[in-house]
């Protein structure tokens, strides 16, 4: 896998979201008894961050959470390389020199937060005890991304004292969801790779997802992942994903006025003819006949 070594980009990615708290707001936070022991300074989301490359020779005065949801990258820290893949995170300690970069041929999408304070020190100690300097895997949880967006949206709307207090209270819960993931959501830890992958499929019916991405999310080879999936479901991941898409298309045909082309776009099919053939194979009738049949009911 190739990584960036010639062109560096710190920010400027299509679809990015980023907020850096102004100096006067930071000063106010440090005087606020409610939140001065744990606070946010910067937050952002970089999707498909090609050429993202950042080096801090003297580290950052805050801790940095990097949460990778897609693609790949590397973090170089204390003469080690830390690999980042989908559903992994890493917390860079404050004041520690580091360098991170996105993969060239599979650029990462990352959520990131800079945070500090005395309670941040304690949280990091909880996270780092008995651990080596490596990335941690974490099960996909839609609520975690919802929490991030809630924090971000609040920041976009206001820097007023009460809003800043709410943001930092929510931030501690967000960071804790990584550090105490096993204790907070034990059921997510117990789910097997197949259940997790099926849930991911349901959340991404609008996309066309390759087998290597499914396998990479579970840190498995494609052959091993497919074997586990077939053993549990009796179908290949590709067949199961298409089955879910066809089931969703039935809902669109029955409950909406979308045409075939619109449904294809909604469900990540590039070719309407392929979709129609697949629909007939699964449902026994064409999409048009299915819609007409249900119109008569």
- In this prediction, residue 218 carries a pLDDT of 85
Last residue of a domain, one of 153, 188, 223: 188
> 186-190, 215-219, 267-271, 288-292 — which one is most confidently predicted on average?
267-271
- Residue 188's pLDDT band, with cuts at 50, 70 and 90, is low
- Token pair 């820097």 is found at 159
List the structure tokens of 270.
């590039």
186: pLDDT strictly greater than 60: no
Are 39 and 122 contained in the same domain? Answer: yes
Instruction: Determine the Cα–Cα distance for residues 39 and 30; give it in Å rounded to an integer.
Output: 8
Last residue of a domain, one of 141, 169, 188: 188
Are 242 and 276 contained in the same domain? Answer: yes
CA distances from 68 to 48, 124, 142, 219, 249 (A): 11, 19, 14, 14, 30
CATH of the domain at 275: 1.10.10.60
- In this prediction, residue 152 carries a pLDDT of 95
10: pLDDT strictly greater than 60: no
- Which domain range does residue 31 map to? 17-188
Average the pLDDT over 92-100 and give the result.
96
List the structure tokens of 268.
């990540």
Are 173 and 243 contained in the same domain? Answer: no
Other beta carbons within 10 angstroms of residue 132's beta carbon come to 7
State pLDDT tens for residues 116-165. 999 999 999 988 875 667 888 888 888 899 999 999 999 999 999 999 99
Domain count of the chain? 2
Are 28 and 68 contained in the same domain? Answer: yes
Are 141 and 211 contained in the same domain? Answer: no
- In this prediction, residue 130 carries a pLDDT of 57
Q: Is residue 105 part of a domain?
A: yes
DSSP state of 93: P
Are 75 and 132 contained in the same domain? Answer: yes
Last residue of a domain, one of 133, 154, 188: 188
- In this prediction, residue 13 carries a pLDDT of 74
- In this prediction, residue 9 carries a pLDDT of 47
State pLDDT tens for residues 19-53. 999 999 999 999 999 999 999 999 999 999 999 99
Are 216 and 252 contained in the same domain? Answer: yes
84: pLDDT strictly greater than 80: yes
């Amino acid at each position: 896998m190739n990584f960036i070594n010639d062109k560096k980009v710190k920010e400027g990615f299509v679809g990015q979201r980023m907020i850096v708290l102004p100096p006067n707001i930071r000063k106010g936070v440090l005087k606020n008894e409610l939140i001065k022991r744990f606070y946010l300074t910067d937050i952002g989301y970089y999707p498909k961050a090609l050429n993202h490359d950042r080096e801090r020779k003297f580290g950052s005065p805050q801790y940095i959470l990097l949460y990778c949801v897609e693609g790949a990258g590397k973090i170089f820290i204390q003469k080690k390389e830390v690999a980042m893949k989908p559903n992994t995170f890493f917390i860079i300690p404050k004041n520690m020199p580091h360098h991170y970069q996105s993969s060239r041929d599979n650029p990462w999408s990352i959520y990131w937060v800079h945070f500090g304070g005395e309670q941040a020190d304690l949280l990091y100690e909880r996270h780092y005890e008995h651990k080596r300097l490596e990335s941690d895997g974490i099960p996909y949880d839609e609520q975690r991304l919802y929490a991030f967006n809630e924090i971000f949206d609040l920041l976009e709307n206001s820097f007023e004292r009460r809003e800043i207090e709410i943001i930092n209270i929510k931030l501690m819960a967000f960071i804790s969801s990584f550090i105490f993931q096993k204790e907070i959501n034990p059921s997510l830890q117990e789910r097997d790779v197949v259940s997790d992958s099926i849930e991911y499929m349901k959340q991404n019916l609008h996309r066309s997802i390759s087998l290597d991405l499914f396998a990479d999310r579970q840190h498995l080879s494609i052959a091993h992942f497919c074997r586990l999936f077939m053993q549990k479901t009796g179908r290949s991941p590709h067949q199961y994903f298409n089955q879910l898409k066809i089931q969703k298309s039935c809902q669109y045909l029955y409950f909406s006025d979308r045409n075939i082309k619109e449904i294809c776009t909604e469900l990540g099919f590039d070719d309407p003819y392929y979709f129609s053939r697949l629909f007939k194979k699964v449902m026994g009738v064409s999409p048009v006949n299915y819609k007409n049949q249900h119109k008569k009911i």
